[in-house]
Amino acid sequence: MKILKKIGIVLIALIAIILIAAIFVSKEVVYEKSISIDAPIETVWENVNSLTDLDKWSPWNDYDPNMKKDFTGTDGAIGAKASWDSDVKEVGKGSQTIAKIEAPNLFETDLKFYEPYESEAKGYIKVLKENNTTKVTWGFQSEMPYPMNLMNLFTNMEEMMGKDWDKGLSTLKNICENKG
């Protein structure tokens, strides 16, 4: 009986340490990637300023070319919404609503994911003229609830998302640089 009591105390202490540690770990999750595109800022902006434009270079289309998509509202205007539904785990189910537009430099969306897990994020694309090229930064910002934020210590965002984001940005670069 004493051994069970000691095991119980150790488990409670371990759980307490984990919960206390989570208090000091950031809840914020931010990931972004940038690419330089050899095209005028206006050309790049034309390829990032609406939900249908984003869909043209979305890396997730390759995971499920048959995913169900629905667009509502006036695309390219605040409030327009794109929803998707797929049985493929990498794609899942969710929606993206245009939240902010500052032409030709910022396109921001509110993201909601329903499957394979629920979460919300703020997605953004920043476009900046740099000398003879245009720099595009694609990113998102979200929050992990306590105590799940402890996972931030063990999550490698580059490993999780880098390949898809590189592919999307490379496709965008190709579209912009080969636009005639």
pLDDT of residue 144: 85
pLDDT of residue 78: 98
Residue, of 161 and 83, whose pLDDT is higher? 83
pLDDT of residue 94: 97
Q: How far apart are CA 96 and CA 80, in angstroms?
A: 8
pTM of the complete model beyond 0.75: yes
Strand partners, 112: 95, 120
Q: At residue 176, does pLDDT exceed 90?
A: yes
Q: At residue 10, does pLDDT exceed 80?
A: yes
Q: How far apart are CA 135 and CA 80, in angstroms?
A: 25
Strand partners, 94: 84, 113
39 within 8 A of 172, measured Cβ to Cβ: no
Q: How far apart are CA 122 and CA 142, in angstroms?
A: 6
CATH 3.20.20.70 is the classification of domain 26-177: no
**Distant-in-sequence, close-in-space partners of 14: CB < 8 Å, separation ≥ 6:** none
Domains of the chain, by residue range, sit at 26-177
Confidence of residue 180 (pLDDT cuts 50, 70, 90): low
pLDDT of residue 24: 83
- Count the Cβ atoms, other than its own, within 10 Å of residue 72: 13
Residue, of 13 and 112, whose pLDDT is higher? 112
Per residue in 90-114, pLDDT (tens digit) is: 999 999 999 999 999 999 999 999 9
81 within 8 A of 72, measured Cβ to Cβ: yes
Rounded to 5°, the CA angle 131-136-139 comes to 150
What is the residue-averaged pLDDT of the chain? 93
> Residue 177: helix, strand or coil by DSSP?
helix
176 within 8 A of 44, measured Cβ to Cβ: yes
Q: At residue 127, does pLDDT exceed 70?
A: yes
Residue, of 117 and 104, whose pLDDT is higher? 104
Per residue in 154-165, pLDDT (tens digit) is: 888 888 889 999
**Distant-in-sequence, close-in-space partners of 62: CB < 8 Å, separation ≥ 6:** 167
